[in-house]
Amino acid sequence: MTPKGPGKGKGRGQEASGGGGGMGGGRALGPGGQCICPQCGEKVTHERGVPCFDVKCPKCGTYMTRE
């Protein structure tokens, strides 16, 4: 006598699809840049952490901009 047991469930393979794609974006403008004065064209070395538009031109006092 062979008891008819219920069929075993289909073994589901666990899908290991880990989306660990690292986004290498967000690259800030590295140091070593320069700020330029839109007024007189004076260039100063851009200080890290100090946005150019926060720096005044040493010559004419105009706020600089990123070159």
Binding-site ranges for Zn ion (CB under 5 A): 37, 39-40, 42, 57, 59-60, 62
Q: Which two tokens stand for residue 54?
A: 């926060």
The CA-based diameter of the chain, rounded to the nearest angstrom, is: 103
What gap in Å lies between CA 3 and CA 5, rounded to an integer? 6
For Zn ion, give the closer residue by CB, 17 or 37. Answer: 37
For Zn ion, give the closer residue by CB, 11 or 67. Answer: 67
For Zn ion, give the closer residue by CB, 59 or 66. Answer: 59
Whether the Cβ atoms of residue 39 and residue 60 lie closer than 8 Å to each other: yes
| CA 64 to centroid of chain Cα atoms | 24
